[in-house]
């Protein structure tokens, strides 16, 4: 990750104080973060080291790589990666750095975060060294004369990866706890019944964003902005006022319940019928059709769950004031058998883009705001409680107080 040595000592004082106070602050006394959290190079460098270089980071869903040879490319910080499915069916997260002279084997900037395809091998464009999908070097032209080259010993580095709920995660830290233990509360409490491991990504769109990653994460998790930013799209059926952060938020996850509008709930209960849409996730019962959810496993596993579709956002910082975002939609495979599936999908894509554009516009506007002298740490609504949980997470990762080994996580 970042080569800049960083530590808590280098964090701006305002950031340190804000993060430490978040650990003690009640949700009804919470305030927005200082502007430096969204702009400062030392905050970004420390995040790269203590968060993105250490935690489990989701990279892809298994349905994006169904066949041998399928791959997805993505950069995590300065680490160029390729997720491959080998002939043995195994998914691996490999470095894209050629073991000859260090070329990123996919130099096309546009494809770094959204490359996807199928290939029998990985070929470096510089001198044409070839690797198989396990990362093993299998051909290196004109190298016979080298006395220090042993083909069988050359492999692309493979990073530790695990799969949960169908999502492929990577960690660069050997001592990270198993992914299943990190996701346990989120999976058992919320995700398991959606069967996301069987779901398929049916829409994906990549966005280069001109705002800090936390702007998007905060925006994703708080439903308060349905009132303004989504007043004609989400607010009519997911009204902000009734949304609530679940009490069990902890150091790994949080979840927010978004109840459907009262008239829609009454209709579902009365008719016993789900709302029109894709074929719903089959393990849900009728009560599950009354709410949508947003969930987050720290730092960036973001899901927006409806009874018939799930939106997974893959969010990765690319700089102090920029990030890369892949928005995706998943449905149960059964949904594809509906006679009007093509029209349903087109409509769902349009809706997703419409509400996402509203978020993009607001997030860019926030980033402009945090650059100005007029920025202040405004008071948060109780509907913005998720922001406090993000602040507490950041405090624990970036600025753990030396003499407070156990933090109160009560809401
Ligand atoms: S740097 Fe890749 S083959 Fe030379
Ligand atoms: Fe939004």
- Domain coverage including residue 128: 57-161
* CA distance linking residue 4 with residue 11, whole number of Å: 13
Of 128, 161, 194, the one marking the end of a domain is 161
Check whether residue 217 and residue 120 sit in a common domain: no
Q: Is 48 within a domain? A: no
Quote the DSSP letter at residue 313: E
pLDDT for 4 equals: 46
- Which atom of ligand 1 is closest in space to residue 140's alpha carbon? 3
Ligand 1 mean position, distance from CA 136 (Å):
14
Of 161, 191, 221, the one marking the end of a domain is 161
Is 225:366 a contact under the CB 8 Å cutoff? no
- Which residues have C-beta atoms less than 6 Å from ligand 1? 98, 100-101, 103, 124, 126-127, 129
pLDDT for 400 equals: 84
Check whether residue 197 and residue 143 sit in a common domain: no
Q: Is 408 within a domain? A: no
Of residues 247, 237, 250, 349, the one with CA closest to residue 290 = 237
- Which atom of ligand 1 is closest in space to residue 102's alpha carbon? 1
Ligand 2 mean position, distance from CA 189 (Å):
23
* CA distance linking residue 391 with residue 406, whole number of Å: 16
Check whether residue 208 and residue 280 sit in a common domain: yes
Of 129, 161, 193, the one marking the end of a domain is 161
pLDDT for 108 equals: 76
129, 142, 154: residue to mutate for ligand 1 pocket, most atoms within 8 A of CB: 129
Q: Is 358 within a domain? A: yes
Cα angle: 382, vertex 386, 387; to 5 degrees: 90
Integer Rg of the chain from CA: 22
Of residues 231, 251, 232, 235, the one with CA closest to residue 243 = 235
**CATH number for the domain that contains residue 133:** 2.102.10.10
pLDDT for 8 equals: 66
Check whether residue 388 and residue 257 sit in a common domain: yes
* CA distance linking residue 399 with residue 306, whole number of Å: 35
Q: Is 16 within a domain? A: no
Q: Is 14 within a domain? A: no
Check whether residue 141 and residue 279 sit in a common domain: no
Check whether residue 295 and residue 337 sit in a common domain: yes
Q: Is 211 within a domain? A: yes
Check whether residue 246 and residue 357 sit in a common domain: yes
User: SS3 of 404, please?
Assistant: coil
Question: In total, how many domains does the chain have?
Answer: 2
Check whether residue 69 and residue 131 sit in a common domain: yes
Of residues 343, 347, 310, the one with CA closest to residue 327 = 310
80, 95, 103: residue to mutate for ligand 1 pocket, most atoms within 8 A of CB: 103
Distance of CA 350 to the CA centre of its chain: 21
Distance of CA 223 to the CA centre of its chain: 18
pLDDT for 6 equals: 57
Residue nearest to atom 3 of ligand 1 (CA): 127
Least distant ligand from the CA of 227: 2
Residue nearest to atom 1 of ligand 1 (CA): 101
Check whether residue 101 and residue 239 sit in a common domain: no
**CATH number for the domain that contains residue 192:** 3.90.380.10
pLDDT for 112 equals: 77
* CA distance linking residue 180 with residue 188, whole number of Å: 10
Check whether residue 228 and residue 348 sit in a common domain: yes
Check whether residue 265 and residue 368 sit in a common domain: yes
The count of other CB atoms within 10 Å of the CB of residue 110 is: 9
Least distant ligand from the CA of 143: 1
Q: Is 173 within a domain? A: no
| pLDDT mean values, one per 10 residues, the chain (411 residues) | 56 95 95 98 97 98 98 96 97 98 85 87 97 98 95 98 98 97 98 98 97 98 97 96 96 98 96 93 96 98 98 98 98 97 97 96 98 98 98 95 48 37
98, 138, 146: residue to mutate for ligand 1 pocket, most atoms within 8 A of CB: 98
- Sign of the Cα torsion 13, 16, 21, 27 reads positive
pLDDT for 110 equals: 66
Check whether residue 146 and residue 192 sit in a common domain: no
Q: Is 20 within a domain? A: no
């Amino acid at each position: 990750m970042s080569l800049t040595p960083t530590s808590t000592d280098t964090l701006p004082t305002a950031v340190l104080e804000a993060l430490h106070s978040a650990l003690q602050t009640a949700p009804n006394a919470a305030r927005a973060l200082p502007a430096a959290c969204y702009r400062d190079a030392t905050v970004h460098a420390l995040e790269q080291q203590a968060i993105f270089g250490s935690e489990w980071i989701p990279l892809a869903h298994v349905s994006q790589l169904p066949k041998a040879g399928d791959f997805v490319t993505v950069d995590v910080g300065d680490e160029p990666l390729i997720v491959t499915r080998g002939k043995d069916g195994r998914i691996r997260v490999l470095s894209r750095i050629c073991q000859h002279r260090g070329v990123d084997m996919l130099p096309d900037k546009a494809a770094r975060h959204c490359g996807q395809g199928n290939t029998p091998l990985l070929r470096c464009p510089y001198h044409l060294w070839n690797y198989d999908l396990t990362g093993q070097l299998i051909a290196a032209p004109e190298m016979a004369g080298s006395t220090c080259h042993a083909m069988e010993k050359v492999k692309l580095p493979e990073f530790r990866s695990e799969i949960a709920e169908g999502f492929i995660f990577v960690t660069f830290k050997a001592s990270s706890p198993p992914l299943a233990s990190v996701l346990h509360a989120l999976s058992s409490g919320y995700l398991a019944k959606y069967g996301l491991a069987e779901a398929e990504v049916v829409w994906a769109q990549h966005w280069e964003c001109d705002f800090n990653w936390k702007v998007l994460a905060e925006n994703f998790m708080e439903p308060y902005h349905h009132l303004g930013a989504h007043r004609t799209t989400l607010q009519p059926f997911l009204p902000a006022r009734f949304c609530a952060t679940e009490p069990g938020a902890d150091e790994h996850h949080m979840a927010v319940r978004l109840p459907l509008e009262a008239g829609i709930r009454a209709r579902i209960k009365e008719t016993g019928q789900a709302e029109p849409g894709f074929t719903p996730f089959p393990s849900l019962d009728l009560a599950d059709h009354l709410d949508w959810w947003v969930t987050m496993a720290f730092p960036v596993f973001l899901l927006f769950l409806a009874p018939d579709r799930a939106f997974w956002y893959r969010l990765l910082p690319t700089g102090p004031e920029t990030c890369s975002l892949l928005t995706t939609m998943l449905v149960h495979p059964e949904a594809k058998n509906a006679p009007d599936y093509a029209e349903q999908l087109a409509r769902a894509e349009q809706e997703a883009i419409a509400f996402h554009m509203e978020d993009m516009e607001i997030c860019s506007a926030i980033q402009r705001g945090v650059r100005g002298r007029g920025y202040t740490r405004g008071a948060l609504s109780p509907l913005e409680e998720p922001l406090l949980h993000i602040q507490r997470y950041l405090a624990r990762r970036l600025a753990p107080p030396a003499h407070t080994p156990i933090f109160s996580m009560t809401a």
